[in-house]
Amino acid sequence: MSQKRTYKTYTDEFKKEAVALVTDQGYSVAEAAESLGVRTNLIYKWKEKFEAQANGSALSQDERAELKQLRAENK
């Protein structure tokens, strides 16, 4: 019997702190990933996401929730 794969989830605060290690404190992505015990590709993805939100090209969590609610109402 196969087991369902579980994924570890990280809080937004943890993600912001991980990205801040790279952007503000001068750590390399590999160093930050190793010190936090996460994979380097996660930090790259988080960094990309936060930069997109800062530029206004990505939706924030609140905007995403509002859009979901409006779509449900329209349906």
∠ CA 50-45-17, rounded to 5°: 55
At residue 36, the pLDDT reads 95
Q: Are 17 and 33 in contact (CB under 8 A)?
A: no
- Please report, in tens digits, the pLDDT of each residue of the chain (75 residues total): 678 888 889 999 999 999 999 999 999 999 999 999 999 999 999 999 888 888 777 777 788 889 899 999 998
What residue ranges do the domains of the chain occupy?
Answer: 12-54
Q: pTM for this structure?
A: 0.69
